[in-house]
Amino acid sequence: MSDHLPEEIVNGILLRLPVKSLVKCTAVCKSWKSLIKSSAFIGTHLHENDDARLLLLNGATPTAVSPFYCLHWDNSEFGEYANLIAPPINTDRNFVDHAIGTCNGLVCLVVAASLLVLWNPLIRKYVCLPRPSPAPTKVLKKVLLLAMIRLTMTTRGAWKSVTSKRVKLCYTSFECETASVNSALHWAQCYDYVKPTVSIVYVKPTVSIVSFDLVNESFHQVEMPPNLMLRKVRDDTHVLRYGDSIALFETGSYEEVADFDLWVMKEYGVAESWTKLCTVSLPMVYILRPFGFRRTGEVVLQVAHDGDSYHWDMLKMLKLVDPKSKQVKDFGTDGYRYHFVGSFTESLVLLDQANAISY
């Protein structure tokens, strides 16, 4: 039938198909296979289908040998879209594999504590990143890793050393949330602010927001909300993606109540547009981390019951918080099983990569 249809019509029809259907279409004929596996088609398909309608959940159980991964619809029904098969990477299984981020249909996995893998679960392909030599600092390792995800492996997949002269970079871990907005990565870091006085040097921990421009490969300081600059840091601070801009999430605790402040930058890049969205209190819990926003605007939080921290793993749960109404409700799944939740977009990324491994 495609022989009787104009090429642009066939191309338009294929671009509207989901990833699983497109993979099957590569077996129809050579011309379709060549088209679907082309970098131009993969990029256009991603651009036209970049509305993240799914949530990736990664978890583990005390008795499971391997972690599990699944996709759910990001709607009120929260129905399962797909139960995913993790790549069969031969490593020391004493370490638990886990996801640390998603972008452009790829999942970044940390395997055996040090091996980094980019994985497209819907086309069942993955790439093991080469180990950097010399080893970068932890903060640069995190930034370069996520930069490679954001660039969708269009480069050679090699590590590149990037230095920062204008922005002071401090330690951050793989667990640090990173918001990808406007072709830049954003994250929060804590540093010691030194203020000399008449008799002593005053030092206090201070939080700042740093961004890494993926186009120019440069670091930048992002202005904080005016009344937060140089203020004493609270328990924990995270930067999250909020639509086409960023949000600042600060947690604190007092006696038996945990709370968080949520700030959003209404207009990306404009410091004056920082707006405090809400302050929400949660009694009898400890806020472990925010996973991000759902399509409804609700914040997904991982919390633990207030109690003996030794048993936190058994007391973890996921909560949904509506910033507008401040309503708090259960996510519908326990946090012990699911320790990563992230927005996910279907894509064909890695389909055209010769070094990608199929399984």
Residue ranges of domains in the chain: 2-36, 48-358
342: closest CA among 313, 318, 315, 322? 318
CATH class name, domain 48-358: mainly beta
- Helix, strand, coil shares of the chain, percent, nearest 5, are 15, 40, 45
pLDDT surpasses 50 at 149: no
**Cα(264)–Cα(153) distance, rounded to whole angstroms?**
30
More confident residue, 288 or 131: 288
**Residue 240 pLDDT greater than 80, yes or no:** yes
Q: Evaluate if residue 193 carries a pLDDT over 70.
A: no
Q: What is the mean pLDDT of residues 85-89?
A: 86
Model confidence, pTM: 0.81
Q: Specify the residue for token string 């949904």.
A: 320
Indicate whether 59 pLDDT > 50: yes
Quickly state the pLDDT bin for 175 (edges 50, 70, 90): low
8 Å CB contact between 352 and 42 = yes
CA distance 126 to 153: 11
Rounded mean pLDDT, 56-71: 79
SS3 category, 85: coil
The values of phi and psi at residue 79, to 5°, are -70, 155
The more confident residue out of 139 and 290 is 290
Q: Which of 142, 20, 141, 144 is CA-nearest to residue 82?
A: 20
* C-beta of residue 12 within 8 angstroms of C-beta of residue 22: no
SS3 of residue 30 by DSSP: helix
